[in-house]
Homo-oligomer: A and B are copies of this chain.
Amino acid sequence: MLENKDNRTELSELGEFGLIELISKSIKLQNSSTIKGIGDDAAVMDNSEMMTVVTTDMLLENVHFDLSYMPLKHLGYKAVTVNLSDIYAMNATPRQVTVSIAMSNRFSLEAIEEFYSGVILACEKYGVDVVGGDTSSSVHGFVISVTAIGVAKKEDVVYRNGAEVTDLICVSGDLGAAYVGLQLLEREKKIFLENPGIQPDLGGNDYILERQLKPEAGKEIIAQLKEIGVKPTSMIDISDGLSSELLHICTQSGVGCQIYEDKIPIDPQTFNVAREFNLDPTVCALNGGEDYELLFTVKLADYEKVRANLDISLIGHITDKAEGINLINKAGGSHALIAQGWDALLKR
């Protein structure tokens, strides 16, 4: 990459405390529960009478993201939203995040500012405060670790283990787009590496690219469920693919399930580009992952309420454990589902 020396500030010029001060300046606290943010040994939050909900994720360059097509601002945005997604999946409201980064001297101050601009954009959108973190150097590559903290009333928290026989299985939004978007980015990267003269051909596929590069967390669907008076019996966010998440819910709830291929929500753009890659769109939805939609179950009595919501698809129902975890395909045949989702440890 060509670098304009004038626009590059070496991190060593600033030092760790200089960098922390600079990052702190760009952060405005939004929650009255955030008593103390960056600048002490620890952050302090006043969540009196509420349950505290905590989740964390670590992202590594060339394992979880590829900077050759992932802009740093999007990366900062995504690093936050994937954690908020886990908080919403507990039916909780995210309030604070800590963001730790380690980077090699390949990165300039401007690169870090670009990353943080994405972090801050996501925090503003979701009403979340950055209250701490850690900055250090790495020998190789860029490492990000985000922890998100949320609150919920005790009676509102939804776990993975509450699904019961006859419950309806629902998903928000549509599935498979992030995975197909990734295929597109990988293809264009390969073409570029083989022939740097060719411009990448990404036009007209904005939706699936955005789903991969700038995913959103389930804030709105949680608000909608509250509005229509539905509390899910179980819930999980779809980070590894529908199959894998369904297995988590069924295993932890001690139940089986039946879902219908023709009910799985897939966007036309996802469908068409999957076909272009000779991929089965259903398989992309089942195993692709990174959609960050919510998978949840509701009582049969809530059928009318959820059916009326355009953002929610009813894809099947919970069965007795003995019946297994099955997909009914478009021809009416039944297949046992297995988790083939993204497995970090097999991806090396």
Q: How far is the CB of A54 from chain B (nearest CB, A)?
A: 5
Please tell me which stretch of A141-149, A276-284, A301-309 contacts chain B, meaning at least 4 of its Cβ atoms lie within 8 angstroms of it: A141-149
Inter-chain contact B145/A42, CB cutoff 8 Å: no
List 9 additional A-B contacts (Cβ < 8 Å) besides A58-B134, A135-B345: A16-B344, A43-B53, A43-B54, A56-B98, A60-B102, A60-B137, A61-B139, A105-B348, A139-B141
| CB contact under 8 A between A48 and B46, given known A54-B131, A60-B136 | no
Q: What per-residue 1/0 map shows which CB atoms of A48-82 lie under 8 Å from chain B?
A: 11111111111011111000000000000000000
Please tell me which stretch of A86-94, A196-204, A312-320 contacts chain B, meaning at least 4 of its Cβ atoms lie within 8 angstroms of it: A86-94
Inter-chain contact A15/B135, CB cutoff 8 Å: no
Q: Is A155 an interface residue (CB 8 A)?
A: no
Please tell me which stretch of A33-41, A175-183, A208-216, A225-233 contacts chain B, meaning at least 4 of its Cβ atoms lie within 8 angstroms of it: A33-41
Q: Which of B133, B138, B339 contacts A60 (CB 8 A)?
A: B138
Kindly state the separation between the CA atoms of A148 and B43 in the bound complex, as whole angstroms: 10
Inter-chain contact B35/A51, CB cutoff 8 Å: yes
| Copy count, this protein chain | 2
Q: What per-residue 1/0 map shows which CB atoms of A245-256 lie under 8 Å from chain B?
A: 000000010000
Kindly state the separation between the CA atoms of A56 and B138 in the bound complex, as whole angstroms: 17
Inter-chain contact B87/A41, CB cutoff 8 Å: yes
Inter-chain contact B44/A90, CB cutoff 8 Å: yes
Cβ-closest chain B residue relative to A247: B17
Inter-chain contact A42/B150, CB cutoff 8 Å: yes
Q: Is A187 an interface residue (CB 8 A)?
A: no
Inter-chain contact A345/B145, CB cutoff 8 Å: no
CB contacts (< 8 Å) of A46 on chain B: these are 51-52, 154
Inter-chain contact A57/B100, CB cutoff 8 Å: yes
Q: How far is the CB of A30 from chain B (nearest CB, A)?
A: 16
Inter-chain contact B100/A41, CB cutoff 8 Å: no
Inter-chain contact B102/A63, CB cutoff 8 Å: yes
Q: Is A111 an interface residue (CB 8 A)?
A: no
Q: What per-residue 1/0 map shows which CB atoms of A9-28 lie under 8 Å from chain B?
A: 00110111101000000000
Q: List 28 A-B contacts (CB under 8 A).
A: A15-B343, A36-B159, A39-B160, A42-B53, A42-B86, A43-B55, A44-B51, A46-B51, A48-B49, A52-B149, A55-B98, A56-B98, A56-B147, A57-B100, A58-B102, A58-B134, A60-B137, A60-B139, A63-B136, A63-B138, A64-B136, A98-B147, A134-B145, A136-B345, A137-B345, A139-B140, A147-B147, A149-B149
| CB contact under 8 A between A54 and B345, given known A63-B137, A63-B138 | no
Inter-chain contact A45/B56, CB cutoff 8 Å: no
Inter-chain contact B345/A16, CB cutoff 8 Å: yes
Q: How far is the CB of A235 from chain B (nearest CB, A)?
A: 8
Q: Is A132 an interface residue (CB 8 A)?
A: yes
Q: Is A242 an interface residue (CB 8 A)?
A: no
Kindly state the separation between the CA atoms of A60 and B101 in the bound complex, as whole angstroms: 11
Inter-chain contact A41/B11, CB cutoff 8 Å: no
